[in-house]
Amino acid sequence: MLLKENIPVRYVLGKIKKEVIVVTIYSILVAILYRNFHFSQISIPIAVPTIVGTVLSLLLAFRSNQAYDRWWEARTLWGAIVNDSRTLGRQILSFVDDPYGGEEVEKFQERFIKRQMAWSYSLGQSLRKISPFIGTEGLLNREEIEFARRYSNKPVALLELHAADLRLALKRGWINEYQQVQLDRTLTNLCDAMGGCERIKNTVFPVTYSLYTHFSLIVFISMLPFGLIEYFGIMEIPLVIAIASLLLLIEKMSIHLQDPFENKPTDTPVTTIAKTIERDLTQMLKQSHLVEETKRLESATKAEYYIL
């Protein structure tokens, strides 16, 4: 199961600590100016920040929506990876068959399905730019690792091995021609999901939009104390801090959601999902991998807790 632990409030606020301190000092300065030096002209009608606020809403709404869509698409792609891994496991176990019985087929099935578990781990980790073979001990044999080393993109290499194994199975008569094509289709689905994740990883959110949003946020917050000082006096300070924090948090949120494979606690939980895949496929193989699983669980725990 994926973790549902919430992000601690302290973690959230930590992200905007610096900005909040600046805003606090700024709004206090404005209040002092207004009170002690009787600069009553510095007050501006609230309607003026409202114009900037409208543009800002427009930008933040646009930003939030697109960032959420990227995040949800990333999650959906990993959901598809779960589905296709299970489908692959099911097909390997129910399609591959040696008419003369024999242990060789069972070994083939085990090797294939374990490689699929390794594929899930290696995809998640290469998206996060960490060593793709961490956590795959016991799932890949030495030849497979050797083969994958020659590729820049390790998961592509593992799919190649899948395909080569299907070719072998066809030649030996373990699967028929339709089954090969159908299994290849499942590989194509895995390849598409992988490509989708890489697309999200490698496509920056239009930078200019980010800049504009940030810029209009600064303009808006700068104006805010002047708009509120007349009616609230000293009470303007907490108000400005509250509104500014809110807007800064929404911006930060978008920034995190839009890049879901950055090895941060707010990522798509790729390791947890890979473990679900391992558990389901292992149970399909009716073998107990509990020991190794636990070991892997420990080694991967840090990069994993799933929030936002």
Which of 164, 234, 295, 299 binds a second copy (CB under 8 A)? It is 164
Question: Interacting stretch for a second copy, rule CB under 8 A, among 29-37, 111-119, 131-139, 250-258?
Answer: 250-258
Number of other residues whose CB lies within 10 A of the CB of residue 55? 14
* Residue 33 is a binding residue for a second copy (CB under 8 A): no
Tokens of 3: 């973790």
If the CB atoms of residues 34 and 306 are measured against a second copy, the closer one turns out to be: 306
* Residue 32 is a binding residue for a second copy (CB under 8 A): no
Residues 102-161 that bind a second copy (CB under 8 A): 150-153, 156-157, 159-160
* Residue 209 is a binding residue for a second copy (CB under 8 A): yes
Residues in contact with a second copy, counted by CB under 8 A, come to a total of 107
Q: Which of 287, 288, 289, 285 is nearest to 93 (CA)?
A: 285
Any idea of the CA torsion for 207, 211, 213, 217, to the nearest 10 degrees? 160
User: Measured between alpha carbons, how far apart are the two ends of the chain, in Å?
Assistant: 17
* Residue 55 is a binding residue for a second copy (CB under 8 A): yes
In the chain, DSSP assigns E strands to none
| 3 state SS of 54 | helix
Q: How far is the CB of 137 from a second copy (least distance, A)?
A: 22
Are 254 and 64 spatial neighbours (Cβ–Cβ below 8 Å)? yes
User: Per-residue string for binding with a second copy, 12-31, x by CB under 8 A?
Assistant: x-------------------
Are 148 and 158 spatial neighbours (Cβ–Cβ below 8 Å)? yes
Which of 286, 291, 298, 302 binds a second copy (CB under 8 A)? It is 286
Which of 212, 265, 293, 304 binds a second copy (CB under 8 A)? It is 212
| 3 state SS of 205 | coil
Cα separation, 96 vs 195, in Å, equals 28
Q: How far is the CB of 130 from a second copy (least distance, A)?
A: 15
Which of 65, 131, 294, 301 binds a second copy (CB under 8 A)? It is 65
Q: How far is the CB of 87 from a second copy (least distance, A)?
A: 5
Task: Measure Cα distances from 168 to 119, 177, 186 in Å.
Answer: 20, 12, 17
* Residue 208 is a binding residue for a second copy (CB under 8 A): yes
Question: Interacting stretch for a second copy, rule CB under 8 A, among 100-108, 134-142, 164-172, 297-305?
Answer: 164-172
Task: Specify the amino acid at residue 204.
Answer: V
Task: Measure Cα distances from 302 to 108, 129, 136, 210 in Å.
Answer: 34, 15, 17, 30
Which of 195, 264, 295, 301 binds a second copy (CB under 8 A)? It is 195
Which of 116, 179, 258, 271 binds a second copy (CB under 8 A)? It is 179
Tokens of 278: 């391992």
* Residue 244 is a binding residue for a second copy (CB under 8 A): no
Q: Which of 276, 274, 270 is nearest to 306 (CA)?
A: 270
- Is the Cα dihedral 217, 219, 222, 228 positive or negative? negative
Question: Interacting stretch for a second copy, rule CB under 8 A, among 67-75, 107-115, 131-139, 292-300?
Answer: 67-75
Which of 28, 33, 44, 134 binds a second copy (CB under 8 A)? It is 44
User: Per-residue string for binding with a second copy, 220-239, x by CB under 8 A?
Assistant: --------x--xx-------
